[in-house]
Structures are given as C-alpha cells and as structure tokens.
A and B are shown apart, each in its own frame.
Chain A
Amino acid sequence: MNYKPDEGTLIAYHYGELDAAESKKVMEYLNEHPEELKHLQQLAGVSNVMKQVRDKEVIAPTIFGVGPDKQVHFWRSSNFKTIMSIAASFILILVAARLIGPEITYSSGELRISFNDSKKMEQPAQSLLTPVEVQEMITSSLHQNNEVIAAGWEENQKKINQSMKTSFAVNSYKIDELMKVTSQASQDQVGTFVASLQADNLKLMKDYLKLSSTEQKAYVEALLVDFSKYLQEQRKQDFQVFQTRMSSIEKNTDQFKQETEQILATIISNPDATIRKVNNY
C-alpha cells in the first residue's frame, strides 16, 4: 500500500473532518505505521493540554439598544419631511404670488418681473431718423461740445492767468520784503564782522610787533657782538699781515745789505777785473 496521508489529512483526521472513506484509509495507514500513530497521539495530547487555557469572563458592553423596536411612522421619516418641506415652500410661494400680484413679461430680449405693477411699461419711441440726420446731429453735437470746451478752456485760461498774476504780485512783494530784511540783516552782520576782524588784526599786529621788536633787539645785539668779533679778527689778521710784511722787508734789507757788502768786497779785492767789466759794458 503506497498511500501516505499528508500533515493536513492527518490533522483533519484528528479533528474528525474527513469523510468516511478518507478516514478509513488514514486509520488503516496509522495501524500500519505505529510511529505516525504515536506522533498523532502526541499532537492530540498537546491539543488536550492546550484546552486547559480557560476562557476569560467578560461583560459585553451595551453598544446597541436592546429594547423593543420603536415603530417609526412614515410622517417621521426624513424622506417624507423633505417632500413636505418642498410642498410647503411651493404653497407659500403661490400664496405670496396671489397676494402680491406678480407679473412676468418677456419682450425684446428683456425679462421683466414686477409685483402689483399696474403701470405698463412705455414702449421706446421708434427710430425715424436717417443716418445722415444722425451724422449731422452727431456733428452738431460735437461742434457744440467743442465750442463749449473751447469757451470753458479760454475762461479757465483767463482765470489761471489772473490767478498767476495775483500770485506773482503777492509773492514778489513778499520776496522784496524778505530781501530787505535779509539785506539789512546782512549789513549789520558785515559791520559787526569787520569790527571784530579789525580788532583781531590790531591785536595780532601788536603781538607781532611786540614779538618783532624783541627779536630785532636780540638780533641787533647778536649782530653787534658778531661785528665786534669780526673787527677784532680783522685787526688781528691785519696786524699779522703787517708783521709778515715788515719781516719780509727786514729780510730783504738784510739780504741786500749782504749783497752790497759782497759786491764792495769783490770790488775792493779785485779792482782790475771790475774795471774791465765796467768797460765792457
């Protein structure tokens, strides 16, 4: 016998969910395979053990109303209320229309709704004018408009000119007054400024002169000292020059004296040679 049930079949056999034929085949297989039977019995034991897990008691909350059903009358249903609301609104409109007397007219693309209106709408006058007349009317109207605009512009121009003149006069007078005040104020300020400037200059010149005289005095003194030193130096140099020249003259005199003595000695010692030389000349 080659029949071998799978795990699913074995577990279905354990829970009794196989048909009779399949169950018989599994039973025969298990009788022939005691190890499979033992394993299945162990699983059955586990199943029995796990049944020891008890259910927990719990109180179901009252989520829904469990009382007797209330009969809902058709006039309380939402559909009925909606329909009745629409009908009531329509009746109300009809009553109001009856009381107010509405009139709805449509003519020449115009929809007119009126309430209790006894007046008939006046029909607009039909157009009897030709295009030329219309053109003339437009031209004359434009001409009149131009004249009115020109007159208005001229009048405005006059008003503006007059206003400008008045404004210029007033402003020039104000400016003159302002200039006078300004010039007067300027003369006073210039006088004050010049006076202060002169005082400053005078003070400055005095200070300068004071300073200058002192410096000049010192300079002159220094100059005098230097000049005296110069004179002394010059005197000294002149004296030295004089001494040198005197020495030179004395030396030349001595030399000339010695030469003269030598000449006289020569002449004295050899009168014949001297005579001959004199004769040769």
Chain B
Amino acid sequence: MAETLPTIAMMHSDTLIARAREGDKNAQGKLVQMWYKRIYNFGFKFFFDHDLAMEVAQKTFISMHRNIDGLQEPTRFKSWLYTIAVNYCREELRKRKATRSVSLHDLRPGESEESYRWEASSSRSENPEKQLRQSELSDLLQQCLMELSDEQREVVIMKEYEGLKFREIAEALNISENTVKSRMYYGLDGLKKILESKNFTKETIGYEL
C-alpha cells in the first residue's frame, strides 16, 4: 500500500480505462504497470507462493486485455479486475488440491537466490537487522493468514491489504455485502485465535491483542 496519491488517482482514472476499452495499447500497458503489483501481492498473500502469484497476475492481465472492451462501467474496473484475479486464484487452488504438489518455495519460502525479499527496494535503506526482523514477522503473519479458510482469506486480503470497500468486495466475489462483512468479522476473529495460539504477544510484535 505504498502507492502515492497521483498513482491512486491514476488507478481510478476513468479516462485511462475508457481509452483501454477502445483498444489503446498504451492505456492498457499503463493499466498493467499500475495494477500488476497489487494483483501480484493479492495472489501472493492468497497462496504465499511467488510462482502461483506470478501465474495469477499474468493470467489476470491477459484476460483483462482480451475482455476489457466488454467492461460496461469503467467505475467498476477495480472490482472487475479483482474478480478475474479471484477466479484465477480459485482455479489454481483447485489444480493444487487436485495434484497436491509441494513447491520447493513452500518448504523454505524466501530463501532462494532470486528471492523477492531482497527486491524490497523501499526498505533497503533501513537497518538490516530491523529489515530481517520485519521480514520474518511478515512471513510468520503470512503463515497465520494461510490458516484461514479460502473464503475468509480472500475477503481479509481484499479489505486489509488491497483497501477495497465492502461493496467492491461484494461485487468482486459476487456475494452480498453482509456476507462479506460477516466473513471479515469471523476472519479477524479467527486470526486473533491463531495469533494467540502461536503466542504472538505485545512484547513480540508490539501490539496488544
């Protein structure tokens, strides 16, 4: 969520979306540049897997390129894009459950030579020790997130990390707004219990549960 205001403003630029709908390759390319990181991080938090997140992001934007001319309301572009991403996440989830394969990345996440951890340009200027501690905490919390059900996890990610409104999440998931709120409430409640079971205390992470 390190996007600047002008970038956010660009995301909601109806003009850019309208140009992309008309087949403007330049506008479509700018949309990809702007939204790729968000969709990738949505996939990464959903799977906690770099390769699957890349797969979902690429498929999402290929689908966007093919189908953006059918988007009726440019104001719903954000929820429309997350709908595509969620559908591909669910598809990958089904494939993974069917094959039950285990990625090497799942065994030791973040420790490969090409790890995205070292690409965190925003934190390169920070203290390396603090950076390492932050990265470890991030992975631990990500593991807690993975213990939620798929339905609660996708709602929590969309709300907490992607900043969608409950209405937008309901549109993206094609469910009622009350269902979204309920899943969010019980998702946070479940996370609270998971964090307590793993002894995440005020001393360890600096927040009181």
Contact = CB atoms under 8 A, between A and B. Distances in A.
Interface of A: 6-12, 15, 17, 42-43, 45-58, 60-69
A66 B134 contact: no
Interface string B189-209: 101100100001000010111
B178 A11 contact: no
A50 B29 contact: no
Given A7-B186, A55-B41, A63 B207 contact: no
Interface in B47-103: 50, 53-54, 57-58, 61-62, 65
Interface of B: 1-2, 24-26, 28-30, 32-33, 36-37, 40-41, 44-45, 50, 53-54, 57-58, 61-62, 65, 116, 119-123, 134-135, 137-138, 141-142, 144-145, 156, 159-161, 165-166, 177-178, 181-182, 184-186, 188-189, 191-192, 195, 200, 205, 207-209
Contact of A7 (B166, B181, B209): B181
A69 B28 CA distance: 12
B32 A63 contact: yes
Contacts of A50: 141, 144-145, 156, 160, 191
Contacts of A51: 160-161
Q: Determine chain A's interface SS by DSSP, over half rule.
A: loop
Contacts of A55: 1-2, 37, 41, 161
A226 B32 CA distance: 142
Q: Which 8 A-B pairs have the closest CB atoms?
A: A8-B181, A60-B36, A66-B29, A7-B185, A64-B29, A11-B185, A57-B119, A43-B188
Nearest to B176: A8
B185 A8 contact: yes
B122 A63 contact: no
A61 B58 contact: yes
Nearest to A51: B160
B191 A60 contact: no
Contacts of A68: 26
Contacts, number: 130
B138 A52 contact: yes
A11 B181 contact: yes
A38 B177 CA distance: 25
B185 A64 contact: no
A52 B141 contact: yes
A56 B44 contact: yes
A55 B162 CA distance: 10
B153 to A, nearest CB: 11
Contacts of B135: 54
A17 B178 CA distance: 12
B141 A49 contact: yes
B205 A49 contact: yes
B161 A53 contact: yes
Contacts of B182: 6-8
B141 A66 contact: no
A8 B53 CA distance: 30
A60 B134 CA distance: 24
A49 B156 CA distance: 13
A94 B89 CA distance: 61
B25 A53 contact: no
Most buried by B among A7, A48, A56: A56
Contacts of B57: 58
A53 B188 contact: no
Nearest to A64: B29
B65 A8 contact: no
Contacts of B191: 46, 50
Given A11-B181, A47-B160, A49-B200, A56 B26 contact: no
